[in-house]
Structure 1
Amino acid sequence: MGAAPQGRSNPLSIWVVSDGRAGIENQALGLAEAVQRLTPADIAVKRIRWRPLFDRLPSAWKTSAMLDPSSDKLTPPWPDLWIATGRATLPLSVRVARWSGGRTFVVQTQDPRWALGRFGMVVAPAHDGLSGDNVFEITGSPHRITPARLAEAAPAFADRLAGLPHPHVAVLVGGRSKAFDLPDAHAAALADQIARAVDAVGGSLLLTFSRRTPEAARAAITARLSPLPGWIWDGQGDNPLFAFLNAADHVLVTEDSANMATEAASTGKPVHVLPMVPLKPAGKFARLHADLRSHGAARPFDGALTPWTYEPLAETDRAARAVLEAMAAQA
């Protein structure tokens, strides 16, 4: 699947539609970029928001006239492929095929939890347990991580990372969510365990925090890990995440984020899952981590930085091939 769909002479036009939040936009954009790696395509990013008066209305009641004027314009010519993500896009995703006279193939990432049969394809995490004729399940979520993208990010941070002792240990710390919490005492205990592990192998630390990391947890982790060689990114300047993943020999990731775990597993580096304080039964996160373990990518962090190898997870590419196959079948 390396050429344009049969009968096409022009590049595929793709719209990536979201409310602009980076975490979810990157799912749709990552899938679009994976399609673009398989066939010539032009990608346009469309960010939308609803007027505050209408934002909380049920999706079925919303019309495009209710969009905030700050939204990007959604007008013809309609794209060949519409890839959207997030609740805000649902009222538009279910209508764009009709607006385009059936020309636009609609893909929704994540579980839409509404009107499942009205999308051309739903690319959903397997751990959500979604089923349907138009559902394509993948391990984790689509994302933008590729070996080439990581390598491209490395030179900008090469001087900062040069000379740090191996193994390089990338640590990706999330924060409080509906399912997990990271109180400062637990954060401190995790940091002490990480420090002992890095000390034991004579390595260095490459650490980033999430926007969701509680300030007290951030302070506790920083205080305990600052003596180690390495870099704890303070949020200032360009984000070094891709450079960290490129340089890493091991990746430690807190269990609260499906995106972080999936992205880490795409590197082929050992992924160690850091426990957090559960606020409810692990459910879908437990299923995701089980899937990553069965692939050979991830293991619970046991305090030791033991190396292992596995085939990098390439679920975004697999989903992109399925999208093109579904478009060809519909043509």
Structure 2
Amino acid sequence: MENQALGLAEAVQRLFPSDITVKRIRWRAAFDKLPSAMKTSWMLDLSSDPTEPAAGEAWPDLWIATGRATLPISARVRAASGGRTFVVQTQDPRWRNAAYDLIVAPAHDPVEGPNVLSITGSPHRVTPDRLAEGSATFADQLAALPHPRVAALIGGRSRAFDLTDAHAADLADRIARAVEATDGSLMLTFSRRTPGTAKAAMMERLARLPGLIWDGAGANPYFAFLDQADHVLVTEDSANMAAEAASTGKPVHILPMIPLKPADKFARLHADLHAHGAARPFDGTLEAWTYAPLDETARAARTVLERMKRA
């Protein structure tokens, strides 16, 4: 979630010279589950960064925050700063929506209002420069891989989806057949939510393919994989990875998961990505297509600066 706030801040910085300071908010365990309205700054964990300027320092021009933990602070910043700070909250706050100058919310979340900007997916840090930088770090490991290069981004268990061992094995077999049919190569990475046994099942079945499998040790090749891929396969449980993949202009194939409950918001996101021309359900083949890279983070940054001028 930090990447949402930081990605939007960096996009603003690319349009307007700015200094970025990262503040990480954590509540003490005894107060973390309290309703946002009941939380005050003395309840913050000692590891949290100060959220108000030190004596003699000015409030920031722009405050960008993400996640439930930040809501009580964000809702009070405008008043505490005397209107000096323009407050942006990403995602749907679902609490005191009028307290923020701008809410940058995923279009798949049904939030509306005069201070709401709906975008496809969420803000992120994927840019051509960052992809190229990440690719350079792994050039020795990726340069010789045959094309088409397939990046497989595997999520895991969540409230809406599951990745059982059997389903992981089936996905691995389908991916392997598609890569082998094209004499291509595989670049495979997992999320923190991927169950260990599911990860092991996939690695065992896919290890024979030419490519690189990241097991979580060492530098993260995520940006390099996106840069070098000819196709990107993303499990349907991750809205962030799907939107980030769509920002590359590469074909995005959505891998099915085991549904645990209705996941309408994910269906809406995938429909939006399909309408943009970016994503299609994975059908076992590696058909190529083209589209204009999704650039919603930049659109959000432009809107932030436009709203700040009018504030």
Mapping of residues 225-304 of structure 1, within 5 Å? 225-304=206-285
Instruction: Pick one of 28, 50, 60 that aligns with 2:27.
Output: 50
Matched, 1:39 2:16: yes
**Hey, what's the Cα distance between the residues in 2 that align with 1:160 and 1:251?**
18
Amino acid aligned to 2:95: W
Matched, 1:310 2:286: no
**Hey, what's the Cα distance between the residues in 2 that align with 1:184 and 1:231?**
21
Instruction: Pick one of 17, 24, 28 that aligns with 2:5.
Output: 28
**Hey, what's the Cα distance between the residues in 1 that align with 2:45 and 2:34?**
14
Is the partner of 2:21 in helix, strand or coil? Answer: strand
Matched, 1:185 2:162: no
- 1:326 maps to 307
Instruction: Pick one of 156, 161, 168 that aligns with 2:149.
Output: 168
Amino acid aligned to 2:15: L
Offset of residue 168 of structure 1 = 0.5
**Hey, what's the Cα distance between the residues in 2 that align with 1:57 and 1:279?**
27
1:41-99 Cα deviation digits (max 9, x unpaired): 00000011112221111100111121122111122221100000000000000001111
Offset of residue 121 of structure 1 = 0.3
**Hey, what's the Cα distance between the residues in 1 that align with 2:200 and 2:100?**
45
- 1:5 maps to none
Is the partner of 1:228 in helix, strand or coil? Answer: coil
Offset of residue 153 of structure 1 = 1.1
With structure 1 as the length reference, what TM-score do the two structures score?
0.92
**Hey, what's the Cα distance between the residues in 2 that align with 1:96 and 1:65?**
15
Matched, 1:116 2:93: no
Amino acid aligned to 2:110: G
With structure 2 as the length reference, what TM-score do the two structures score?
0.98
Is the partner of 1:236 in helix, strand or coil? Answer: coil
Matched, 1:207 2:184: no
Is the partner of 1:71 in helix, strand or coil? Answer: coil
Is the partner of 1:128 in helix, strand or coil? Answer: coil
State the Cα RMSD in Å. 0.7
Amino acid aligned to 2:62: L
Instruction: Pick one of 61, 68, 77 that aligns with 2:38.
Output: 61
Mapping of residues 122-141 of structure 1, within 5 Å? 122-141=103-122
Matched, 1:96 2:47: no
**Hey, what's the Cα distance between the residues in 1 that align with 2:203 and 2:32?**
38
**Hey, what's the Cα distance between the residues in 1 that align with 2:62 and 2:214?**
37
Amino acid aligned to 2:43: M
% identity of equivalent residues: 73
Matched residues, number: 307
**Hey, what's the Cα distance between the residues in 2 that align with 1:79 and 1:198?**
50
Segments of structure 2 that go 5 or more residues without pairing to the other structure are none
